[in-house]
A and B are shown apart, each in its own frame.
Chain A
Amino acid sequence: MAKYPTETLLSWSKAKEIRETYYKNYAAAHDKGGIRWVGGAWTFDAVPAGLGGDVYSLTSEPYGASCAFNKDFSTRAMEAAETAGYARDLCAYMRNYWGSILMNEYAFGGPFPKPDFIWQDHICCSHAKWYQVVSELEGGIPMFCVDVAVGPAEPFGTLTEAKIDYVAGQILDGIEWLEKTTGRTYDDELFIEACWNDFRSTSKWAQVCELNKAVPAPLDEKTMYSLYVLATLQKSWGVVADYYDELYDEVKDRVERGIAAVPNEQARVMSDTQPPWSALKLFRYLEQYGVVSVGSLYTFGLEGMWDFDPASGDLVPRPMPSKKPTTREEAARELVRWHLHKPEYQHFYDCDYKSQMMIAMCKNYGLSGVMLHYNRGCEGLSLGIAENRLAIQETGYPVMTFEGNMGDEREFDLGRTMQRVDAFMETLGVKKVAA
């Protein structure tokens, strides 16, 4: 008999519907006279929202992950990118994306929908360059890119006004560029509303994740991947913000009723970086041991907004701004101030910052160990991962590493990884349990 009760997540199908609608909206945007734009999952998607309600985006990383899930499509896309001269060790999402353009195939069916403009941000070496190539491959799509790499935010550094000025200034320049590029008049009210939705989505997602402190954990990481993704698609979309409100209520209810994601939960781990998307069964394999992966700094903080408090040694969901911005300038500055606190930005400046946050998660989420994915597909999120391993081990938490690739399944060996899991479980003193 299972140790805890479990239930299907009621809002699961709604999350799937939102995702499907998002991709269809992008593909069909031109049919309705709308605009299509592309950019990364971290881009300030609230900004193009000011161009009108018929402006649809395609964010690149979740698209690349969707490709990876389809092994045949992904392999052909990779090979197309390699044939065009791009190195095999570049970002795997990027190669899936470029391959889609080169093959003229949309992973969700039909030809690859050409964007009207590119709206990107840049902190990883590949971000701006990714779209520089997209622009070239698509025959010269107009591109605007905001540099956000101004150094760490509190408590690791100080966000000076000069730093805010730099990033917000680029956004304000970008708004003028959007008007010129599209010929549309920019609506500040729509922008402000989109900013507010962004704050709601990213704050609420952090609150959802925090509920996983409960034993048993109400969510497992494999499920969370399908939920956090909505914020990577369009965090400023009201539909996404509303969904996270609903999800929070449901997960909170699961905690109150002791509903488990893994009914035989007997140990808890966390992972790091993007998983090998073509082999998520790895997480189901953990469940045979009664082990739940409660998340990671990646699933929690890629889009979720948190404050790290060194005094208490905990990550706390960042509270919403006290009031809604009232002007374009105010909204731009608030948006910048908000996003520069993103947990997953901080490790770009020092591996220690990430180690501190990961160790905080180990302590506050009752973890027995950590599984680190040495991800050959993403140099950005792999930055410092070897030092994270050393730091976590020093605090006494066992760490398992496995090498792979989030988006290029040619570089991931599931069988060997499962063997490593077996050995890791032995280290943790965990034996397989009946389902």
Chain B
Amino acid sequence: MIEMFEEWYKSRHEYAKEWKDKTGGKVMGFFCTYVPEEILLAANVLPVRILGSHEPQNVTEPHIFGMYCPFCRDCLAQGLLGRYDYLDGMMIAQSCLHIRQAFTSWKKHMPPEFTYYLPMPHQVQSPRSIPFLRSELETFKTAVEQWVGKEITDADLDRGIELMNASRQAMRDLYDTRKTANPPMTGLEAMYAAVSNQWIDKAEHTAVVRDVIQKELPGRNLGLEGKTRLMILGSEDDDTAFVNMVEGCGSVIVTDDHCTGSRYFWNQVEPEEDRLLAIAKRYITRPACPTKDWPQRTRLDHVRMLAKQWDVAGAIIIQQKFCDPHELDIPEQRKSLDGIGVPTLFLELDVTVPVGQFKIRVEAFLEMLAEDDLF
């Protein structure tokens, strides 16, 4: 069962195409996890997060300035190479400038039938942001209705909310199993589960997560007890080769703070009569992306909480090269984790990672963590 996540990770395009053939529905590519998928699900649209393929490419140079992050270039490359040619729509919720550049270039050169820019507010710590986002969700809902040719009713929205909430709760429960001294799953398996959740039909994905939790994980012993417990945090990260290398050095990754991981599913929509208001509140109050984490640094407390609850010995801070929002957080994030006795290793990721070089650094980091036990 748990292998299904890896299979989904690797066959994302085939899955979406088959879903289209099977359901006749529309597929929406999205660029940022602030996209309110509840509304898309309410319209029977399959939301598919656009991610890169971690391969060298030569098609984005004319479109994106070299100081923009490798992730946005990798995403745009997927579009220019036609790998998402099955998309009916494509959208972004306002977050960082770099991924926005990938969206606008893609839209300009390979436009699907529907595109949408959702001006997700940045000042999520202001109470003004909730009514503003609610208003923008109303406009977005209308645009989706016109696109799919069908009214989105309250019952539809309830279904979208329930699907998302069920998925989020299942993923939280899955992550909770990793709190144990002998985690029943690896960090790599968790990454496959979390990332594939961003493009697989929610009901289908949730059913497998539930099955894994109930039937596969109880009693599963991978011999991870005693391995150095790590968390990973920072920029977008779906680099399975990297995670595999880190765990191959004698560690186990037990939690994360990534938009490709726990930030995506952390909090629920609290249902209320005004469905759009409820959805707006959820996205405003979710664990913040660094682009929206101001004036207070709420991420520091959230990350410390993860580190404590998942009992980590160290943290690897991952930053996509040129990722300004994370670069602006990392010095404080390191101080913050150091303050609770969680040492950090900082690594800068590109489209592909230099596994050999990084392995030496990770091994050194793990050795350093182990010294505490020796002396």
**B-contacting residues of A (Cβ < 8 Å)?**
84-87, 89-91, 122, 124-126, 128-133, 135-136, 143-147, 149-151, 160, 162-163, 165-166, 169-170, 173, 348-352, 374, 376, 379-380, 382-387, 390, 403
Contact = CB atoms under 8 A, between A and B. Distances in A.
Contact of B63 (A144, A376, A387): A387
Contact of B294 (A132, A349, A379, A387): A132
Given A132-B328, A163-B132, A125 B96 contact: yes
B119 A151 contact: yes
Interface stretch (B101-109, B230-238, B247-255): B101-109
A187 to B, nearest CB: 24
Nearest to A374: B65
A351 B290 contact: no
Given A170-B128, A350-B117, A85 B295 contact: no
A361 to B, nearest CB: 20
Given A351-B105, A376-B67, A149 B330 contact: no
Contact of B123 (A129, A146, A376, A403): A146
Contacts of A135: 295
Nearest to A150: B119
Interface in B37-80: 62-68
Contacts of A173: 126, 128
B121 A149 contact: yes
A379 B68 contact: yes
Contacts of A124: 97
Nearest to A163: B132
Interface residues of B, number: 45
A163 B132 CA distance: 7
Interface in B81-116: 94, 96-98, 100-101, 104-105, 107-108
Contact of B324 (A85, A169, A379): A379
Given A166-B132, A348-B97, A132 B295 contact: yes
B129 interface: yes
Contacts of A379: 67-68, 97-98, 322, 324
B328 A85 contact: no
A85 B331 CA distance: 6
Contacts of A129: 290, 294, 324-325, 328-329
Please name the 6 residue pairs, one residue from A and one from B, whose CB atoms are nearest each other, closest first. A147-B123, A162-B135, A166-B132, A85-B331, A151-B119, A129-B328
Contacts of B302: none
B123 A170 contact: yes
29 contacts: A86-B331, A89-B322, A90-B328, A125-B291, A125-B324, A129-B294, A129-B329, A132-B297, A145-B123, A146-B123, A147-B121, A147-B122, A149-B119, A160-B135, A162-B136, A163-B119, A165-B132, A166-B132, A169-B128, A170-B126, A349-B104, A351-B101, A351-B105, A379-B67, A379-B98, A379-B324, A382-B65, A386-B64, A387-B108
Contacts of A387: 63, 104-105, 108
A385 B322 CA distance: 17
B332 A136 contact: yes
B286 interface: no
A221 to B, nearest CB: 21
A302 to B, nearest CB: 17
A241 B64 CA distance: 38
A161 B248 CA distance: 55
Nearest to B297: A132
B101 A383 contact: yes
Contacts of A125: 96-97, 291, 324-325, 328
B131 interface: yes
Contact of A147 (B68, B97, B126): B126
B107 to A, nearest CB: 8
Q: Which of B67, B105, B290 has the most CB of A within 10 A?
A: B67
Nearest to A168: B128
Interface centre among B100, B122, B297, B322 (most CB of A within 10 A): B122
B108 A145 contact: no
B132 A89 contact: no
B334 interface: yes
A87 B128 CA distance: 32
Nearest to A372: B65
Contact of A386 (B62, B119, B332): B62
Contacts of B162: none
A352 B131 contact: no
Contacts of A169: 128
A380 B324 CA distance: 11
Contacts of B132: 150, 162-163, 165-166
Nearest to A94: B328
A90 B327 contact: yes
A255 to B, nearest CB: 36
A136 B300 CA distance: 14
Given A85-B331, A87-B327, A143-B295, A352 B65 contact: no
Contacts of A122: 122-123, 294
Contacts of A89: 67, 322, 324, 327
A135 to B, nearest CB: 7
Contacts of B121: 147, 149-150, 166
